[in-house]
Amino acid sequence: MYNRQELRRNYILPYIPHTTSATTKNMKLFRKTKSTKTANGGPKFPIVGDSSIMSKKKHGTSNTRVQADLRWGCDRKTADRICNFNRHYAEHAGYFRKDTDFIEYAKSLPKGETIKFYDSNTGEPLFVAPLGRSMDEFLKESKAHGWPSFRDEEVVWENMRCLKNGESVSLAGTHLGHNLPDRKGNRYCINLVSVAGKPTNKA
């Protein structure tokens, strides 16, 4: 678990671009996970993925660029930098609240309706929220921490993994954020620009 100083040092500092070259090597990402289970046979969260998920590919850590028209007015340049050429840093705290129309969108939904969040690169579903709580509770927690904050049951584990260091990533190699557990359990602190994609036909 990060303390306040570690969070500021490791997660909020300005982005430093990577300059390493990309590679075209394809990875069979679904095999690169640790299969762990609880005593009753259910999955243990977070599901831990191998670091090779984030190996260099055609476009940074992904094989594709960020989608051209992201949801909620998210900036594509910022998204591409954070999703594909970054392992530690984030959009600035409060970005989802101050620089996008996400809050307005969320509050406009009928009571009980959820939001699906899609990979900004691939359009694969990554999160569905709120589940097990109200929209007001989801937004309150997210505002308090500065980033959209998801719980275990709101993760689409078919497409998302956490690395040993807490980094949250999609199986396609998109950097999403970090798992920063608190007294309630795992809390996935996620960049909105990383999950502002539009669904693919199969999603």
pLDDT 10s digits, 61-115: 999 999 999 999 999 999 999 999 999 999 999 999 999 999 999 999 999 999 9
CA 135 to chain centre: 19
In contact, 175 and 194? CB cutoff 8 Å: yes
Burial of residue 131, with CB atoms counted within 10 A of its CB: 0-12 exposed, 13-18 middle, 19 or more buried: middle
Res. 25: pLDDT tops 50: no
- Write the CB contacts of 198 (distance below 8 Å, at least 6 apart in sequence): 67, 69, 70, 71, 118, 123
Res. 36: pLDDT tops 60: no
Q: Identify the DSSP state of 155.
A: B
Measured distance CA(44)–CA(186) in Å, rounded: 11
User: Which one-letter amino acid corresponds to residue 94?
Assistant: G
Q: Give the mean model confidence (pLDDT) for residues 4-11.
A: 41
Q: Give the mean model confidence (pLDDT) for residues 121-134.
A: 98
Task: For the beta carbon of residue 163, count every other beta carbon within 10 angstroms.
Answer: 19
- pLDDT at site 201: 73
Q: 12 pLDDT band (50/70/90 cuts)?
A: very low
- pLDDT at site 43: 76
Res. 30: pLDDT tops 50: no
Ordered alpha helix ranges (H), the chain: 4-7, 76-84, 95-98, 102-108, 135-145
Q: Looking at the DSSP assignment, which residues form a beta bridge with residue 62?
A: 59
In contact, 84 and 121? CB cutoff 8 Å: yes
CA max distance for the chain: 47
- pLDDT at site 203: 54
Res. 47: pLDDT tops 50: yes
pTM: 0.81
